[in-house]
Chains A and B, each alone.
Chain A
């Protein structure tokens, strides 16, 4: 069974204080790793897909990287509007297994 562990569970940052979120995964044949952002009471918002080790993707202050065992979401010079829960999910195994297995999320609060 695919498993995803995210750390730290919660993080408080001062505005401008860069940090990284970790997503460790166990999957039989990784087909893709996904990062989502979720605001309270709302559905997850898609951020990135990473397919293979060594891949990196960027969007504004966010940068996602992938190794064979984990992924990192780097937040550079965060602003209060970056406060959210960041969810990591994996899709693995055989073609046709389309379910995503999610971690519990990293809850980020950016203080002005």
Chain B
């Protein structure tokens, strides 16, 4: 297994357009996370899936954002009507249930979104 993969790696779009990103987690990892990172900041949590169920969403995740994880495998993150403030690196991470609920999250390479 080669780790978490994300596609595309880079996306340039015009304001108002919709974009969709894909994340493929490490095989057999039942937990999948989306984070957003802007320049000079640490990653900020967006949402979390356990298998196919979306269990937690940040208040950062406006109604323009939607995430899915059909069949508990890959996940997609869609942003509708993009705004310039959506420009960021979108990171996906996966983990598996560990000791006492602790889990180590492994990150993918990210998708860099630029909204013009």
Contacts and interface: CB of A to CB of B under 8 A. Distances in A.
B112 A41 contact: yes
Interface string A10-42: 000000000000000000000110101000011
Contacts of A95: 100-101
A100 B107 contact: no
B110 A99 contact: no
Interface stretch (A44-52, A59-67, A71-79): A44-52
Given A42-B110, A43-B91, A43-B109, A31 B101 contact: yes
A31 B99 CA distance: 11
Contact of A98 (B31, B106, B110): B31
Given A4-B42, A44-B43, A91-B102, A99 B48 contact: yes
Nearest to A31: B102
Contacts of A36: 107
A96 B100 CA distance: 10
Given A51-B102, A95-B101, A99-B48, A45 B107 contact: yes
B102 A104 contact: no
Interface residues of A, number: 27
Contacts of A41: 110, 112
B1 interface: no
23 contacts: A31-B101, A31-B102, A32-B102, A44-B43, A46-B104, A49-B104, A51-B102, A87-B42, A87-B43, A89-B43, A95-B101, A96-B101, A98-B48, A98-B103, A99-B48, A99-B58, A100-B33, A100-B35, A100-B43, A100-B45, A101-B45, A102-B42, A102-B44
In the A-B complex, list the 6 residue pairs whose CB atoms are closest, starting with the nearest.
A102-B42, A43-B107, A99-B45, A95-B101, A44-B107, A43-B110
Interface of A: 4, 31-32, 34, 36, 41-46, 49, 51, 87, 89, 91, 95-105
